[in-house]
Amino acid sequence: GIQTEFYAHELASIVVWIGFLQWKHEHLIKEDREPVLEKLNNIEHGDAILRYDAEGKPFEPEWQPAEFIIGNPPFLGDKKMRSELNVEPHPVYVDDLRNLYDGRVPGGADLVTYWFEKARHQIESGDAKRAGLLATNSISMVRNRPVLERIKSSGNIFMAWSDRPWLLEGAAVR
């Protein structure tokens, strides 16, 4: 996994450990060891789609090979990307991102499409078998559609819902 927020990164590690401990309990695997939880090195603390080297030059981070890619990438439309992402220490983050993915993700695409492209590439290169990613209905809009077309040209989309109710009480999301 890859997580930018420090506390979310730490929480993700704990959730993985709890899931593992539950699995062991359900399969009657008894193991007494200390500590019960250990530091996981397979969840990175960093940006999944753009990083900067020591000289401040942008680069596309490599994703580790994984059988399945599952994620809930951030939903941020093209119009809000500059105001939300162009902050210190990288005030030209959006331009760097668009230049880095030029030819693969359209310039006016939503932020979520970069995860779809990265996952597509992992599958095409054999570093993953399948991906399951969440997106809003804007993923099918004209400015984002080329990313879906690239997925279809190199693989397939086997399950998608165009409209699905959000099950959180009070949320006005579909």
Q: Do 86 and 94 contact (CB within 8 A), yes or no? A: yes
Cα distance between residue 10 and residue 32, in whole Å: 23
Looking at the predicted structure, is the pLDDT value of residue 125 above 60?
A: yes
Cα distance between residue 112 and residue 139, in whole Å: 8
**Alpha-carbon 113 to chain mean position:** 10
User: For helices 112-124 and 145-154, what crossing angle results, to 10°?
Assistant: 10
Instruction: Give the alpha-carbon dihedral of 129, 103, 136, 61, to 10 degrees.
Output: 60
Name the residue type at position 44.
E
Cβ atoms within 10 Å of 94's Cβ, excluding its own:
19
Q: Residue 117 has what pLDDT? A: 96
pLDDT in tens, 16-62: 888 888 888 898 888 777 777 777 777 777 899 999 999 999 999 99
Average pLDDT over residues 103-109: 93
Tokens found for residue 157: 């989309």
Average pLDDT over residues 134-152: 90
Average pLDDT over residues 158-167: 74
If one compares 98 and 29, the residue with the highest pLDDT of the two is: 98
Residues 6+ apart with CB under 8 A from 45: 3, 4, 6, 9
pLDDT in tens, 78-95: 889 999 999 988 899 999
Q: How far is CA 30 from CA 4, 14, 15, 35, 103, in A?
A: 34, 19, 20, 14, 52
Cα distance between residue 49 and residue 117, in whole Å: 10
The pTM is what? 0.81
Looking at the predicted structure, is the pLDDT value of residue 8 above 60?
A: yes
